[in-house]
Amino acid sequence: MKKVLFSMVLIFVASILMAKEGKVMIHYKGEDATLYVDGNKSIKLTKEITPLTLEEGDHVLKVVKSINSECEKHGEKKVYVSSYGSLKVVLKFEKKLEPTERYKKLLDKKDSIKLQRFQRTKHNRVNDTQLGLMWQDNEYPSRSKRDLNGAKKYCQKLEFSTFDDWRVPTYEELLSIVDYDRYDSAIVPAFKKSFPKKYWSSSQDVSSPDYAWVVDFGQGKTSTDIKSKRHYVRCVREK
């Protein structure tokens, strides 16, 4: 028994002695960011160049900067660290903001309530049980842009999910599927086919007959635009 334990200790010590390490030079221009190595919190990045020693092999380096209590910036890079020489890694943030872990938990609670009202079907429709509307949510709403007249013709001719009485939604109907709790794609979670861009409504601007209301699903902003402009469209019908 003692010989077996002694052999195991020798193997463990040998594995430690044989472990190789490599140097990584983190280049980051910014302040108050945290570096995560393979999902584990590592160090605060406050300098332009930060030296790091890692075991030889594949690693995932991720830099995170808090914006507020709801969102943060992320930048990630996969690297291979060798014991020969040093590796230069430049970490940059992606343009898209991500919710913090705490805010994700809050979103999950809110989403469970929203999904009781907005129910996605296996036929790529989303049913609004509160307003009694049925929304198109297949690949076509995001495929091409149209002027308002073209958007109306598209919905009128649409035969989707056994129905042929689709139309362009009103401004109020389009606003009902905006989700202001989300970033980049501000639409309720039941919808899977959406671009964070402007979508047409059928509601005319009362101050100008050549303009109609649009909703930007990037951040849920609304505005009017000339009807000859090309935007996306998502058709709707009464259940």
The alpha carbon of residue 237 and the mean position of all alpha carbons in its chain are separated, in whole angstroms, by: 28
Asked if 98 and 72 count as a contact pair (C-beta separation under 8 A), the reply is yes
pLDDT top residue among 174 and 144: 174
Segment 72-98 shows an average pLDDT of: 87
User: pLDDT tier at 141 (50, 70, 90 boundaries)?
Assistant: confident
The band of 142, judged by pLDDT with boundaries at 50, 70 and 90, is: low
- Torsion sign, CA atoms 208, 211, 212, 216: negative
Asked if the model's pLDDT at residue 91 lies above 50, the reply is: yes
Q: How confident is the model at residue 18 (pLDDT cuts 50, 70, 90)?
A: low
Sign of CA dihedral 26, 27, 33, 39: negative
Answer with the residue of higher pLDDT: 149 or 65.
149
Q: Which two tokens stand for residue 49?
A: 């160049």
Q: What is the mean pLDDT of residues 59-77?
A: 86
> What domains are defined for the chain?
17-99 (2.60.40), 101-238 (3.10.100.10)
Q: How many helices (H) and strands (E) does the chain have?
A: 4, 15
| Rg of the chain taking only CA atoms, in angstroms | 26
Look up residue 46 and give its two tokens: 């406050």
Q: Are strands 133-136 and 236-238 parallel, antiparallel or unpaired?
A: antiparallel
How does pLDDT run across 177-207, given as a tens digit for each residue? 999 888 778 999 999 988 899 999 999 999 9
Give the model's confidence band at 32: pLDDT under 50 very low, under 70 low, under 90 confident, else very high: confident
Q: Sorting pLDDT into bands at 50, 70 and 90, what band is 11? A: very low
Helix (H), strand (E) at residue 77: strand 71-81
Checking if the pLDDT of 97 tops 80, the result is no
Percent of the chain with pLDDT over 70: 90
User: Across residues 204-227, what is the average pLDDT?
Assistant: 94
Q: Average model confidence (pLDDT) for the chain?
A: 85
